[in-house]
Amino acid sequence: MPDWHPSSLVSKWTKQMFIDGAWRAGSGPTIDVENPATGATIGQVADATLEEVNDAVTAARRAFPAWASAVPRTRADALHRLGDLIAADADAMAAIMTAEQGKPRNEAKGEIEKLAEACHFYAEEATRVHGEIVPNDRPGFQSLVVREPIGVVAAITPWNYPAELVGWKLCASLAAGCTIVIKPAELTPFTALAIAAKVAEAGIPAGVVNVVTGLGRSVGQALVEHPQVDKIAFTGSSAVGLHIQRSCPSVKRMTLELGGNCPMIVTESADIAAAVAGATRRSFRNMGQICIAINRIYVAEAVYADFVTRLGTAADALTIGDGMERPDADVGAMASAEPLSKTKAHLHDALERNARLVAGGAAPEGAQFANGHFFRPTVLADCTHAMRVMTEETFGPLVGVASFATLDEAITLANETSYGLSAYAYARDLTEIHRLSAELDCGNVAINTVDAGIMNAPYGGRKQSGIGYEHGREGLLEYFNLKHVRLFHGVGA
Ligand code: NAP
Ligand code: MG
């Protein structure tokens, strides 16, 4: 039986960063990393100094020309090796993630396996990037449109999916021929350091991948402002995304994958049992700490009462546990005190405005929950847009439900927030399905399913939910510049 005691898993990376192909002890202030299920400190990382950030960017710049000009097959082989190494060590990597993030180990392992899948997907895509030959206006000319990797990427990532959200940026960068400096979230740095260890094992050249730890406002901001960083690949809140856009002192490429307040619509024609199962999964998985979580649900009047009752029952039936000890629990602890207090604030605000509590509403009882950030999956009915839960991102295990009279009304309400990430709908009437897919104003629409994303389709938001795409071929193309080469060869002139 492997030793999955959290601190022994990560002690080798105490205050370590991965810069220019080597491990280096950070000289900045120490940051404690907490197990959110127990409150215990599992390890320490360092807040990188400006010099360390600069060394990482300099290493990435130095490594760029050779990596960019390597034949795509070389980069593909490296990504395949990386994917194999990650998959082979999925149990231990998952335990590290659970120890710092709180999600149950089985779910964490699924995320690690999806990271490995991303490595293989982008390995294959790496060999299929090509340009175009464009018709010209005069004989004797030829126009080539070619793709060239952008350069040095700074990846800044949140704590809710500590492996995948690093991985999409890492894999696309490696496939494209970019080099990368990763700044993981303060709460979940060890998953990123575990990925760096696999990068080293895979024999990826020094400087191509670097991981610096520390705070967003210091280390993240230093990357945003660094003149040698050519692209920012950011996933996080809309507020920080906007701050990055505003505070960046020079013109840089940016992809911003930001927050959401995702709606679900259930029409009278829907399969209600399927809709309830979908709502339960996508409202509460990862304790609702998903940018594409269902935050609010609009249900046709005729089926509203039935839907609300069944959703309450399903929410109450979810099992909650310490994700390390209960790998198969439905949900674990929330990642920190901050999203828990926001969840409670949204709950109290809605109750004050006469929402009806259907399930949850408090922490689970028992000594095993006393020191962790636990909360019961919570369902509120009779909600209105005067309540924060219906218009702001909660990012916790809370969902608001409201009834609607017409599909026009439901679509208007669904589109009425500043976000545009994902929307979900359950319906069996073809006209309803067509209107929902056409009229919901967001980057992803999932109909009769709540698994909105697949590896080979683009994923991204509109409005305050972001710019640019990850996943799919489109996610890879975000890492290239185009170049038009107009050539006079004279043949036929
Ligand atoms: P966050 O507070 O915006 O932080 C995201 C990252 O930005 C962290 O690494 C953070 O560092 C860093 N950061 C903070 N201030 C910075 C600054 N001034 N300059 C540069 N970097 C800075 O988000 P979070 O609380 O970690 O994550 C939750 C949010 O992410 C939610 O809004 C969620 O919807 C969003 N999200 C979006 C997607 C998507 O694909 N659209 C996916 C997942 C999550 P520290 O950790 O050190 O503060
Ligand atoms: Mg934060």
- Nearest Cα to Cα of residue 220 among 228, 231, 212: 212
109: CB partners within 8 A, 6+ apart? 90, 91, 94
Q: Quickly list H helices, 177-300.
A: 189-201, 221-225, 238-247, 272-284
Compute the distance from residue 235 Cα to the ligand 1 centre, in Å: 6
Q: In what order do the strands lie in the sheet with 132-134?
A: 132-134, 141-149, 480-488
For residue 21, pLDDT beyond 70: yes
For residue 400, pLDDT beyond 80: yes
pLDDT of residue 22: 98
Q: Which of 31, 100, 235 to mutate to test the pocket of ligand 1 (most atoms within 8 A of CB)?
A: 235
Token pair for 224: 């945003």
Q: How far apart are CA 274 and CA 280, in angstroms?
A: 10
Ligand 1 atom with least separation from CA of 158:
26
Nearest CA to ligand 1 atom 42: 291
pLDDT of residue 5: 81
pLDDT of residue 426: 98
pLDDT of residue 3: 61
Q: How far apart are CA 304 and CA 297, in angstroms?
A: 10
CA 355-357-360 angle, 5° bins? 140
Compute the distance from residue 163 Cα to the ligand 2 centre, in Å: 17
Mean pLDDT estimate for the chain: 97
pLDDT of residue 2: 59
- Nearest Cα to Cα of residue 147 among 124, 176, 172, 171: 176
- Nearest Cα to Cα of residue 410 among 310, 286, 296, 488: 296
Ligand 1 atom with least separation from CA of 257:
41
Q: Which of 218, 225, 245, 291 to mutate to test the pocket of ligand 1 (most atoms within 8 A of CB)?
A: 291
pLDDT tens by residue, 148-157: 999 999 999 9
pLDDT level of residue 1 (50, 70, 90 thresholds): very low
pLDDT tens by residue, 418-461: 999 999 999 999 999 999 999 999 999 999 999 999 999 999 99
The rounded percent of the chain whose pLDDT value lies above 70 is 99
Q: Which of 31, 103, 160 to mutate to test the pocket of ligand 1 (most atoms within 8 A of CB)?
A: 160
pLDDT of residue 328: 98
The rounded percent of the chain whose pLDDT value lies above 90 is 98
Compute the distance from residue 338 Cα to the ligand 2 centre, in Å: 8
pLDDT tens by residue, 83-113: 999 999 999 999 999 999 999 999 999 999 9
Nearest CA to ligand 1 atom 12: 216
Q: What are phi and psi of 54, to 5 degrees?
A: -65, -40
Task: Please tell me the number of the ligand nearest to residue 236's CA.
Answer: 1
**How many other CB atoms are found less than 10 A from the CB of residue 237?**
16
Q: How far apart are CA 435 and CA 62, in angstroms?
A: 51
Token pair for 444: 């992803």
Q: Active-site positions?
A: 257, 291
Q: What are phi and psi of 213, to 5 degrees?
A: -100, 165
- Ligand 1: residues with CB < 6 A are 156-161, 165, 183, 185-186, 215-217, 220-221, 224, 235-237, 240, 243-244, 257-260, 291, 393, 395, 421, 461, 466
Compute the distance from residue 187 Cα to the ligand 2 centre, in Å: 9
Domains and CATH numbers, the chain: 6-258+466-482 (3.40.605.10), 262-454 (3.40.309.10)
Q: How far apart are CA 426 and CA 439, in angstroms?
A: 15
Compute the distance from residue 406 Cα to the ligand 1 centre, in Å: 37
For residue 4, pLDDT beyond 80: no
Please give the average per-residue pLDDT across 272-282, as a whole number.
98
Nearest CA to ligand 1 atom 45: 216
Task: Please tell me the number of the ligand nearest to residue 212's CA.
Answer: 1
Compute the distance from residue 117 Cα to the ligand 2 centre, in Å: 27
pLDDT tens by residue, 211-263: 999 999 999 999 999 999 999 999 999 999 999 999 999 999 999 999 999 99
